[in-house]
Amino acid sequence: MAIQRLLKRSGAFTANEREKLDAYFGTSEWFDLLYRRRENLFGEDSTEKVRKAGDVLVGWYRDRLRDAFGYVSEAREVQNTRGAPLYYLIFAGPNRTGARIANHVLKQGARRVA
């Protein structure tokens, strides 16, 4: 979730910021996934972050983990005491049974928090 604070609504990044985010994600694909170019009211091109960018980012991250490890659990959002999201717990590994167990454990944790 902390990475989302670095992802500006406008998509206006300096070259240095883009370079650091590319290095963090290991690819520049994140930009086209999270930002759309549109024409604004004045007929000028503008860039804006997609709706539900956090969900899009988590889904993309899980897909990349699946490509690397084979099996991935559902993402479990962990929140602070005020209900604000802090981070996601995600299991990734080469074993289907491990992913099933992780999903079970993460669901149990969700019930206790709720």
Which amino acid, 24?
Y
Domain assignment of residue 42, given as a range: 1-50
Q: What is the pTM of this model?
A: 0.80
**Residues 46, 2: one domain?**
yes
Query: What band does 111 get if pLDDT is binned at 50, 70 and 90?
Result: low
Share of the chain above pLDDT 90, in %: 63
**Residues 46, 73: one domain?**
no
**Residues 73, 46: one domain?**
no
**Residues 73, 38: one domain?**
no
103 token code pair: 């999903």
The answer as to whether 39 is a domain residue is yes
List phi, psi (to 5°) of 26. 80, 5
Q: Is the pLDDT of residue 101 over 80?
A: yes
Number of domains in the chain: 2
Q: Say how far apart CA 38 and CA 48 lie, in whole Å.
A: 8
Q: What is the pLDDT of residues 17-69, one digit of tens each?
A: 999 999 999 999 999 999 998 887 788 888 899 999 989 999 999 999 999 99
The answer as to whether 63 is a domain residue is no
The answer as to whether 76 is a domain residue is yes
Instruction: Rounding to the nearest 10 degrees, give the CA dihedral for residues 45, 8, 25, 34.
Output: -50
